[in-house]
A and B are shown apart, each in its own frame.
Chain A
C-alpha cells in the first residue's frame, strides 16, 4: 500500500468516527420510534429516557474530536520587539521550510517545543499558529540544535508527504485525546489521577498554576459501554495510521537535517531526552528544595539554576547521551524510538556543517535573566510566588534543611514514643540503648517481612541500617536546633552536611563526620556503647 493510500484509509477511518456516532444515534432514535409506535405506558417512557441518556456520551464524543479550546500552557508570550533575534530565527526557518511563520511565540517552562495550529474544518482550512518553546531547551541546546528542533516541528506542516498525511497525524492526536478522556471518565481513572496529583510533590504545586480540572462525573455502566466502543474504534484508527505517523516523523527529521545540518539534528535528538531527565532531576532536587519550608531561590533562579547544573554535571551528561531509549513510549506513540531516529540521521552523508552556530541558544534572548524572572511569574502558582526569596542557593539549602530537621519525625521517633510512652527525644533513646533495650525497641520499627521474621543476629543486621539512618537524623537535628550545622551546596554533588569543627583539610577518613559515623555505629553495636555519641553531642543536648 502506498503512502497516499495508507493515508486515505486512515482518513476514511477518521470520518468513520463520526459515522460510528451517527449510526449509534440513529439506532437509538430508531429504537425510540419503534417503542413509541407499538407500545405505550410507563415502560415506553423508561426506554426513551434510557436511550436519551445513552445518546449524551455519543454526542459528547462527537464534539470531543474538536480541538479543545483554552488549553494553552502557562508561559510568557514574547513579541517581535521583545525578542527580535528569536523571531528572526523562527521566521527564517519557516521561510526555508516553505511554511507560514507562527503568529505567536510562547516561552514555556517544560523541555518541549511544539507548533500548534487552530485549524478549522478538521485541518482543511488554516488557522492561527503558535510556537511553544520551552526555556529549558534554550538553556540546554546550542543554536544549531534549536534550529534542528524547530525545523522538525515545521517539517510536520510541510513534510515531504501528502496533505492528507498531515491531516492523519493531527487526527491521531485528537483521537488519542478522546480515548484518554473516555478512559478518564469511564474507568474512574480520573479519581486515581487526582489522588496521585494531590499527594504529588511540591514540584507539581509549583508547576500547577493551571492544573486541569478533572471531571469525574457520569461514570455509569452505560457510559462504560460507550467508552469501550469508542476505545476499540480509536485503537483501530491509531493502529491503521501508525505507519503514516512514523513516516511523518522520519520525514520531519530529514527536513530538519537538511535545514539545520546532519550533526546538529542528530545531537539535538540525543540531547532532548537527556535534558528532560536532567530537568526533572533539577526541579526535584534544586528548584523545589525550599518549598516545604516555604522558601524560593533568588528571583530568576527557579528556572535559571538549570544552566549551572548542566555545566557542572557535564561528565555525567556525556554518559547519558550515549544511552538512547530503544523502545517507543507506547505502542500508539507516533514517535519512533529515539535510537532509531538518531541512527537514520547519522547514516546520512556528512554535510560539513559541524561547526555551525555552536553558541548557546539562550544567547538568542535579549535578556535571559529578565525572561527567566518573567517565566516564574507566569508559571508558578500564586501561593508559591508568595514564598520568601532567599539571597542565594547556599542560604536556601541551609534554611530548607534546618526547617526539615526541625520537624523531622523518623520511624525511630514513632517507635520510641510508642515504646516509652514519652516524648521521643535523643536523650530518651540513649537511655533505652544504655539499658540494653535497643533491640526490643527495634522490633517496633516498620520492618520488611524478611526482617520481621528474622531472629538474633540476622534480625539485628536487618534492623541496623534503618536504626542508623534514623539515629543519624536525630543527632543532626540536635545540632541543627542549635544552629551548629552547615550544609555544603554543590551543583555537581548531593548536599553534604558539615558538623562544627569541620575544616576543608579534613579527608573523608577523619573529621567530625567520620566521628559521627563511628559513634552511631558504636551506639548500635551488639554491645552498644553510647559514650562516643554523648561526647560528640553539643553540650546542651547532654542528658542531665
Chain B
C-alpha cells in the first residue's frame, strides 16, 4: 500500500507543479493584464499630452469643423436646416461635399425623420437627395453587419441586397439633380462592392467619377476596396490601381495613401519584414512629402497620418512616427485601427505608447 502511495505521489508531483504554475500565471494576468512597462509607456504618453484609450473619439478620424459638428448635432435634434446650409456653403468642393454627405448619411441610416422632413420641405433639393442615397447604402451595410460572409445570416444578406438594389434608384436621382457632383457615383462604388458589379461596370462607374473629380481622395479609397482581393479584385489589381493613381496625382492630393492601404489590406499580420522593405520605406517617404504639401484642412489628411504613424513605427522610425501620432491624437476612426471595431482605441494607444517608449529609450 505504501509503495503504491509513493508511486502515485511521484506521478502526481509534476501535475501539482504545473497546476500551481498555471494558477500563478492566471492570477497574475487577472490582476495586472499588461506588463508594467506598458503602464510606464502610457504615463509617458500622457505626459506628452496624448490621450488614454477611453478619451479617444472612435467615430471620427479628425476633429470636425465647428459648423459641421453643429449641423450634425442639429439633425439629431430633428433640425435639418443647418445641415442643408453646410452643404450649400460647400458647393462644388467635392472632397468636402462627399465627406459631409457621409457624416449626414451615417446619421440618416439610423433614424431619418429629419431627412424625410427636409425632403418634404424641398422635394428637388440635390443635397437632400445625395444624403438620402448615401444613407440607404449605409443602411444596407448595417443590415449586413460587419462579419465575414460565413457568419452572416440569409436574412441579413437578403436585406443587404434588397436595400442596395433600392439605393440604385436614389443614387440615379441624386446624380440627375446635380450632374457635376461625383458623390452619388462614389456612393455607388459601395453598391458595386456589395452586389458584385462586373469589372466592366466598375470601370464605367469610375470613368463617371474621374471626369468629375480626377484625384478625389474618398473616391479612390472606396474604389481601392472594390479592387482588393477580399472584394471584387485581386492583390495585383489593387496594387496596380493604387500605384497608378498615386503616381498620376499631384503632390498634396494625398493619394500616396493608396499603396499603403493596398499593402495593409493584403498583408500577413505576422510578417513584419514585409513592412520594412525599401519599397515600403519609399512609400512612407512619399506619404510624408504628400502630407507636408497638402492643405492642412484636407478631410483625408488624418487618414494618411494614421497610416504613416503606423508604418513609421513598424519601420523603427519612432521619432517621425511620434510626430504623426501627435498630429492625429484624439480621433482614431481610421485605418489601420478601425477594423478592430471596439478595440480600435486600445490598439491605437498600444502602438502609440510603444512608439513613445521607443523614443524615450533612444533619448
Contact = CB atoms under 8 A, between A and B. Distances in A.
Contact of B153 (A450, A454, A458, A526): A450
A456 B114 CA distance: 13
A448 B109 contact: no
A450 B155 contact: yes
Contacts of B139: 457-458, 461
Contact of B159 (A455, A461, A526, A527): A461
A462 interface: yes
A30 interface: no
A450 B153 CA distance: 9
Q: How large is the interface on A (under 10, 10 to 19, 20 to 34, 35 or more residues)?
A: 10 to 19
A543 interface: no
B145 interface: yes
Nearest to B111: A456
Contact of A457 (B109, B145, B158, B162): B109
B156 A450 contact: yes
Contacts of B51: none
Interface in B122-159: 135, 139, 142-143, 145, 153, 155-156, 158-159
A458 B158 contact: no
Contacts of A526: 112, 116
B338 interface: no
B147 to A, nearest CB: 10
A450 B109 contact: no
Contacts of A455: 110-111
B116 A465 contact: no
B145 A527 contact: no
A447 to B, nearest CB: 9
Nearest to B156: A450
The secondary-structure label for the interface of chain B is helix
Contacts of A461: 139, 143, 159, 162-163
A462 B143 contact: yes
A384 interface: no
Nearest to B154: A448
A65 to B, nearest CB: 45
A451 interface: yes
A462 B159 contact: yes
Contacts of B153: 448, 450
Interface residues of B, number: 17
A526 B132 CA distance: 14
A461 B116 CA distance: 16
B155 A457 contact: no
A527 B120 CA distance: 12
B155 A462 contact: yes
B132 to A, nearest CB: 12
Contacts of B145: 450
Interface in B221-235: none
Count chain B CB atoms within 10 A of each CB in A456, A462, A465, A526 and give the residue with the most: A456
Contacts of A458: 109-110, 139, 142-143
A457 B106 CA distance: 12
Nearest to B135: A457
A177 to B, nearest CB: 38
A197 B159 CA distance: 35
Contacts of A457: 109-112, 135, 139
Contacts of B162: 461, 465
B149 to A, nearest CB: 14
A448 B112 CA distance: 23
A457 B158 CA distance: 16
Interface in B269-294: none
A455 to B, nearest CB: 7
B356 to A, nearest CB: 38
Residue in A461, A462, A465 whose Cβ sees the most chain B Cβ within 10 Å: A461
A526 B120 CA distance: 13
A456 B155 contact: no
Nearest to B145: A450
Q: Which 4 A-B pairs have the closest CB atoms?
A: A456-B111, A456-B110, A458-B142, A457-B139
Interface of B: 109-112, 116, 135, 139, 142-143, 145, 153, 155-156, 158-159, 162-163
Given A454-B142, A456-B110, 13 more contacts: A451-B155, A457-B110, A457-B112, A458-B109, A458-B142, A461-B143, A462-B143, A462-B155, A462-B159, A465-B158, A465-B159, A526-B112, A527-B116
Interface of A: 448, 450-451, 454-458, 461-462, 465, 526-527
10 contacts: A450-B156, A451-B155, A454-B143, A455-B111, A457-B110, A457-B139, A458-B139, A458-B142, A461-B143, A526-B116
